[in-house]
Amino acid sequence: MSRSEQLFAAAQKHIPGGVNSPVRAFKSVGGSPIYFKKGEGAYLIDEDDQRYIDYVGSWGPMILGHAYQPVINAVKKSLDNGLGFGAPTEVETLLADKVCEIMPSIEMLRMVNSGTEATMSAIRLARGFTGRDKIVKFEGCYHGHSDSLLVKAGSGALTLGEPSSPGVPASLAEHTITLNFNDLASVEKAFLEIGEQVACIIVEPVAGNMNCILPVAGFLQGLRDICDQYQTVLIFDEVMTGFRVALGGAQQAFGITPDLTTLGKIIGGGLPVGAFGGKKEIMQQIAPLGPVYQAGTLSGNPLSMCAGLAMLNSLADQPEVYQQLAAKSEFLTQGIEAVAQAAGIALATSYIGGMFGIFFTDQQQVTSFAQATACDTERFALFHQGMLKEGIYLAPSAYETGFMSAATSQADIEATIAAAAKVFKTL
């Protein structure tokens, strides 16, 4: 029994499923989760001293590699001053200023402690600002686990949403309309019927929670136009894409200006963080300025702020990193496609900046939830297990995105492609 297996067995005594976030339990790929004790650059070291090339990066924050020295140094320096005061600190202002400088659509910003808090607060703010109750989201997009967002499509496109988890009251879920990502016609049709009742559309501008699915031409602009027409708030959930697909996030990459943006992951440098921000006119509705309540004991915690500021300063100081990340993602995905084809494995890939997707499908391109859920998840599970054996750590779910890091070398990527070639022969 490996040390990871021993630790996983022990964890199950007091932690539900042995994990503090479900995807970590390896349920959809089989086997026992790997316990890591150290991250360095592109690598993770597990409790059995096995080294892995890491393409999860703590689900996105580690864009410059694990234990990135400027971030570590910033946190170490802050540590000596204590862990937090429950009072404002200068570094919160410095980070807010930096985010607003990099993402000009954000005129004001509120820090929170997770992406879930960010999207939950942004939804409440949109409802408070518009006085409307309904919200629109998209099947397959994940925005954290707040009640209004754990809702799947009703039986018909316009049928009011149904809870996607026990514990979410039907009376709340019915205010959430769930439509089809990349299907602008479904949005136009819904708005013809209920547009004046919709407080906001919340969308992952690149869908990173049903694998990695890019917006088709015109989709995001179409959402922008619909929101303008119906005075609905357009929320870009950039918790994952922010500072990852481009320095200015997907809104910069695709040239679309949302009304509100939610952030997380990278802006905390790996420490707990979330944020929501956008138009001043809307943000001024947030307490204590306005009536929409939102709060948090550790919001703006100085350690997270110092880590996030060091991270954003490092990224802003080396904007060429985004072209490099895209080139690495392209080389990896094209290499994997080539070896899959040689092995007769039906596979498609996607990428944008430092995000990429691998789909076990004979479809040329995957642009919808229906296509994503038609992929061969069993084959992905076998692929994941095989890659683990080869020392490659991929996200333990067919519905997660791969994350490239600036620390991942050409040799690492070539080794990953070679590992895939070997594993494909066993599928």
Site for ligand KE4 in 387-406 (CB under 6 A): 400
For tokens 């994503």, name the residue.
372
Q: Which of helix, strand or coil describes residue 199?
A: strand
Q: Which is nearer to ligand KE4, 262 or 340 (CB)?
A: 262
297 to 84, 96, 111, 396: CA distances (angstroms): 10, 18, 11, 32
Site for ligand KE4 in 190-209 (CB under 6 A): 204, 208-209
Residue 144 near ligand KE4 by CB under 6 A: yes
Q: Which is nearer to ligand KE4, 259 or 400 (CB)?
A: 400
Residue 304 near ligand KE4 by CB under 6 A: no
Q: Looking at 265, 351, 393, 412, which residue is catalytic?
A: 265
CB 198 within 8 A of CB 135: yes
CB 96 within 8 A of CB 300: no
- H/E stretch holding 52 reads strand 51-54
CB of 166 to ligand KE4, least distance (A): 18
Q: Which of helix, strand or coil describes residue 342?
A: helix
Residue 21 near ligand KE4 by CB under 6 A: yes
User: Is 285 buried (19+), middle (13-18) or exposed (0-12) by CB count in 10 A?
Assistant: middle
Q: Looking at 46, 237, 259, 412, which residue is catalytic?
A: 237
Binding segment toward ligand KE4, per CB under 6 A, in 102-110, 128-136, 223-231, 232-240: 232-240
Q: Could you give the CA distance from residue 54 to residue 42 in angstroms, rounded to a whole number?
A: 6
Number of residues lying near ligand KE4 (CB under 6 A): 19
The token pair that represents 345 in the structure block:
């494995």
Q: What single DSSP character describes residue 103?
A: -
Binding segment toward ligand KE4, per CB under 6 A, in 176-184, 212-220, 235-243, 339-347: 235-243
The token pair that represents 114 in the structure block:
């997770």
Q: Which is nearer to ligand KE4, 144 or 222 (CB)?
A: 144
Q: Which is nearer to ligand KE4, 237 or 376 (CB)?
A: 237
Rg for the chain, CA atoms, rounded = 21
Q: Which is nearer to ligand KE4, 240 or 315 (CB)?
A: 240
CB of 181 to ligand KE4, least distance (A): 12
HSE, side-chain direction, 13 A CA sphere, residue 224: 13
Q: Could you give the CA distance from residue 306 to residue 111 in angstroms, rounded to a whole number?
A: 13
140, 222, 242, 264: which one binds ligand KE4 (CB under 6 A) = 264
The token pair that represents 12 in the structure block:
């199950």
Q: Which is nearer to ligand KE4, 54 or 204 (CB)?
A: 204
Q: Could you give the CA distance from residue 348 to residue 261 in angstroms, rounded to a whole number?
A: 30
CB of 182 to ligand KE4, least distance (A): 16
CB of 145 to ligand KE4, least distance (A): 7
Q: Could you give the CA distance from residue 106 to residue 108 in angstroms, rounded to a whole number?
A: 6
Q: Which of helix, strand or coil describes residue 289?
A: coil
4, 8, 23, 403: which one binds ligand KE4 (CB under 6 A) = 23
Question: Is 265 an active-site residue?
Answer: yes
Residue 183 near ligand KE4 by CB under 6 A: no
Site map (CB under 6 A) of ligand KE4, residues 64-103, x = contact: ----------------------------------------
Q: Which is nearer to ligand KE4, 58 or 313 (CB)?
A: 58
Question: Is 183 an active-site residue?
Answer: no
Q: Which is nearer to ligand KE4, 142 or 380 (CB)?
A: 142
Q: Which positions ≥6 away from 20 have C-beta within 8 Å?
A: none
Site map (CB under 6 A) of ligand KE4, residues 102-131, x = contact: ------------xxx--x------------
Written as one string, the DSSP assignment of 235-264 is EEE-TTTTTTTSTTHHHHHHT---SEEEEE
8, 43, 52, 59: which one binds ligand KE4 (CB under 6 A) = 59
With CB atoms as reference, the residue minimizing the distance to ligand KE4 is 115
Residue 143 near ligand KE4 by CB under 6 A: yes
* Cβ neighbours, 10 Å, residue 396: 23
Tell which residue, 111, 204, 192, 220, has the closest CA to residue 149.
204
Q: Which positions ≥6 away from 25 have C-beta within 8 Å?
A: 17, 18, 19, 33
Q: Please identify every residue annotated as catalytic.
A: 142, 237, 265
Residues contributing to the site for ligand KE4 (CB under 6 A): 21, 23, 59, 114-116, 119, 142-144, 204, 208-209, 237, 239-240, 264, 274, 400
